[in-house]
């Protein structure tokens, strides 16, 4: 097995058609458009249609990424789906559903669960298969239908999330660049701060769990906010240093699209001008594992990423965990 380099050969995204504005949420809970925008930076989000699932959205994003890469589904060696909202709890993996729907008959498939940081973990895992020379073409998609696990009576969480999917195709290449460094971390002490208590082996579904609304996401917002304001700039700085670079070398930072105050804090701490930090959460909210790949796709479509640019990506999520990567665009 010989070593190889890796490049992002294709990117793709999918956002549901339905747009839910802050004004619509005003009719559900005691909040306001002004408050949501001021506290989060979010103006609207997308909501999946009844017949849309994590796997169907991932398939749509994957098809665009494959088309950009000039590959057929049968060229794929592996499919990695980053998600916290798989079509089915436990099994089968969303990856297997995506593999079948695409017709990727040669590909293995599995899911990565790391909350909103899952795409970062999936990207690093997929890149290792390519960099070792074990595999040539790997699809990594982040897809989440957060609207299905949100308690629409909880104004502290229902204003934050949206649905969507993004995908990348990783490919062997002789070109320099690719994945320069990464940081993966976890602090399990923070697990209760961001959790869906019901549905697993600890609390299987029952009348009691349903009545307790335990099958919806629960979050200690203030604690998660404090965690994020430390880990986003900190992990980007650590990954940048591991790559032998400084924040000044970064052409673009793509942070997890969770809250504009978290993003602004990270930008100020890294001493970066606004034009070098990508933001789209005003239109989509927090799409969890889809956040980074959707933003990456849009940044490329807008001409904000060029050959040899140094791009840093970072997300935090349930666990509590985090993932950062520095990529030299090639």
What is the spatial distance between Cα 296 and Cα 251, in angstroms, rounded to a whole number?
A: 13
Q: Does the CA dihedral 228-184-296-233 come out positive or negative?
A: positive
Side-chain half-sphere CA neighbours of 254 within 13 A: 26
Exposed, middle or buried: residue 49 (CB in 10 Å: 0-12, 13-18, 19+)?
Answer: exposed
Cα diameter, the chain: 59
Please give the backbone phi and psi of residue 23, each rounded to the nearest 5 degrees, phi first: -65, -35
What is the spatial distance between Cα 250 and Cα 129, in angstroms, rounded to a whole number?
A: 26
Is residue 116 annotated as a catalytic residue, yes or no?
yes
Give residues with Cβ within 8 angstroms of 193, minimum separation 6.
219, 220, 223, 224, 227, 320
At 296, list the tokens. Answer: 């990456």
Is residue 265 annotated as a catalytic residue, yes or no?
no
Set 22, 256, 259, 297: catalytic member: 256
Read out DSSP for 271-324?
T--GGGB---HHHH-B-GGGHHHHHHHHHHHTT---TT-EEEEEEEETTTEEEE
Say whether 39 sits in a helix, a strand or coil. Answer: helix
Query: Angle between the 221-242 and 260-270 helix axes, to the nearest 10 degrees?
Result: 30
Set 22, 116, 137, 297: catalytic member: 116
What is the spatial distance between Cα 145 and Cα 122, in angstroms, rounded to a whole number?
A: 18
Give residues with Cβ within 8 angstroms of 163, minimum separation 6.
15, 16, 45, 46, 47, 48, 52, 57, 144, 145, 146, 147, 287, 290
Local structure of residue 219 (DSSP, 8 states)? E
Is residue 280 annotated as a catalytic residue, yes or no?
no
Set 5, 22, 259, 286: catalytic member: 286
Q: Which residues are catalytic?
A: 116, 256, 286
């Amino acid at each position: 097995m010989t070593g190889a380099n890796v490049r992002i050969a294709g990117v793709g995204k999918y956002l549901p058609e339905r747009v839910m504005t802050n004004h619509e949420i005003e009719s559900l809970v005691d909040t306001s458009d002004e408050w949501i925008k001021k506290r989060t930076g979010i103006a609207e989000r997308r909501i999946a249609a009844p017949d849309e699932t994590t796997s169907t959205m991932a398939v749509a994003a994957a098809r665009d990424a494959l088309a950009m890469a000039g590959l057929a589904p049968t060229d794929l060696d592996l499919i990695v789906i980053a998600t916290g909202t798989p079509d089915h709890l436990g099994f089968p993996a969303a990856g297997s559903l995506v593999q079948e729907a695409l017709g990727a008959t040669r590909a293995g498939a599995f899911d990565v669960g790391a909350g909103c940081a899952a795409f970062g973990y999936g990207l690093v895992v997929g890149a290792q298969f390519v960099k070792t020379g074990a595999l040539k073409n790997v699809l990594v998609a982040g897809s989440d239908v957060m609207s299905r696990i949100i308690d629409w009576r909880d104004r502290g969480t229902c204003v934050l999330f949206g649905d969507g999917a993004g995908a990348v195709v990783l490919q062997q290449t002789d070109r320099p660049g690719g994945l320069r460094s990464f940081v993966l971390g976890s602090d399990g002490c923070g697990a209760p701060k961001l959790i869906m208590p019901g549905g697993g082996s600890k609390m299987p579904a029952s009348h009691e769990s349903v009545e307790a609304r335990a099958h919806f996401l629960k979050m200690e917002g203030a604690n998660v906010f404090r965690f994020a304001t430390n880990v986003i700039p900190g992990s980007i700085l650590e990954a940048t240093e591991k790559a032998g670079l400084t924040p000044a070398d970064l052409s673009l930072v793509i942070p997890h699209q969770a809250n504009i105050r978290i993003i602004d804090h990270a930008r100020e701490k890294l001493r970066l001008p606004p034009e070098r930090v990508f933001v789209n959460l005003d239109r989509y909210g927090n799409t969890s594992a889809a956040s980074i790949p959707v933003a990456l796709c849009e940044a490329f479509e807008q001409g904000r990423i060029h050959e040899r640019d140094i791009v840093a990506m970072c997300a935090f999520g349930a666990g509590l965990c985090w993932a950062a990567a520095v990529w030299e665009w090639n």
